[in-house]
Amino acid sequence: MAQQIEKVGVLGAGLMGHGIAQVAAQSGYEVVLREVDDATLQKGIGRIEKQLARAVEKGKSSQEDADAVRGRIHGTVDYGELASCDLVIEAITESLPLKLEMWRELDGIVKPEAVFATNTSSLSVIDQAAATGRPERFVGLHYFNPAQVMKLVEVVRCVTTSDEAFETALQFARSEGKLAIPTKDKAGFIVNRLLVPYMLDAIRAFEEGVGSAGEIDEAMKAGAGHPMGPLTLADFVGLDTLGSICDVLFEEFRERRFAQPPTLRKMLSAGWFGRKSGIGFYDYSGETPSENTGI
Ligand code: 3HC
């Protein structure tokens, strides 16, 4: 039987965390959104407020509803405010040491019956679960960017997850109107295992001169019906995030399809992380993105 969830803690108000917090608040949950400092927290909350205002402008939400959603989100920089959460979802930097440090601290603060969930895109769930005193109440809840729009949540069961915690996570994702797909704790789960080699292959095709970035992207949109071409998608996900996911997958499977192509490695050294840094396969400094001719 699933546990009752009323209050949700979200760690990290970045690209994924702010969206995860917004979706939970829109689904009626009280949300405590935690960031490391106030400036980063306000940036994340600002993004949520912008989305809510846009929904009101478009007539998709009433001002009253938008205010109620915003009112359910409480921002903090203090772990202590997560003590009474029923479910805590982490969406911090994709670094195992940082995640372990965070869970160890939270484990002593958050009530013992609460379920912990990681939004990791590639790290093993069990490695995080085992660092807590509640490995049976630990799952993966993997959202997709933008979390407000993408329908899927992968619900990951690791070897220690209890039936009750897994059912709680499945029902929670469904209560947010998401399609909850159960999957095993195998690096990359379902989507990234397939999507990451696809984006890497697009980078290899670009390296080999099969087409320009724009040609590769337009071809996949028009020829395969994808909403975004693979290089636009790589910029959208973040080339740094893509780089760390493929490093984890390569480490796990030792297969060439998961290896960073040299172009990606060089772009990361240059600090070209895609849309978030203003430049990647495209340059985002103008009105509309243009191809980065410096690659
Ligand atoms: N936050 C909230 N809402 C957003 C948004 C955002 N960042 N971006 C777009 N939207 C909303 C818009 O407001 C609009 O809402 P409306 O229909 O109510 O008006 C709707 O989404 C459609 O947006 P647009 O009309 O501006 O643009 P598009 O139709 O091109 O859609 C897109 C944008 C939804 C991002 C679409 O291009 C898309 O689906 N792209 C692929 C995204 C994808 O593959 N994501 C997965 C990445 S992999 C991942 O996340 C895993 C991780 O582990 C790496």
pLDDT digits (tens, 9 = 90+) for 156-176: 999 999 999 999 999 999 999
- Asked whether residue 12 is domain-assigned, the answer is yes
Sign of CA dihedral 195, 172, 23, 244: negative
State whether 180 and 197 are in the same domain.
no
Tell which one of 149, 217, 240 to mutate to probe ligand 1, the residue whose CB is within 8 A of the most ligand atoms: 149
Q: How many domains does the chain have?
A: 2
State whether 162 and 269 are in the same domain.
no
Find tokens 């195998």 and name the residue. 186
DSSP-assigned letter for residue 38: H
Find tokens 């619900």 and name the residue. 155
Scanning 176-212, the segments in alpha helix (DSSP H) are 191-207
CA dist 54 and 66 (Å) reads: 10
- 61 CB within 6 A, ligand 1: no
The whole-number pLDDT of residue 1 equals 82
CA dist 247 and 234 (Å) reads: 15
Query: For residue range 109-162, what is the model confidence (pLDDT) as tens digits?
Result: 999 999 999 999 999 999 999 999 999 999 999 999 999 999 999 999 999 999
- Asked whether residue 295 is domain-assigned, the answer is no
The whole-number pLDDT of residue 10 equals 98
Region 15-31: mean pLDDT is 97
Query: Is there a contact between 156 and 119 (Cβ–Cβ < 8 Å)?
Result: no
Q: Report the nearest-CA residue for atom 45 of ligand 1.
A: 145
State whether 243 and 162 are in the same domain.
no
State whether 170 and 211 are in the same domain.
no
State whether 142 and 206 are in the same domain.
no
Range of 228's domain?
191-290
Residue 47: is its pLDDT beyond 90? yes
Domain final position from 184, 218, 238: 184
Query: For residue range 237-267, what is the model confidence (pLDDT) as tens digits?
Result: 999 999 999 999 999 999 999 999 999 999 9
Distances in Å between the Cα of 182 and the Cα atoms of 23, 206, 273, 278 are: 19, 34, 31, 35
Which ligand 1 atom sits closest to the C-alpha of 54?
A: 13
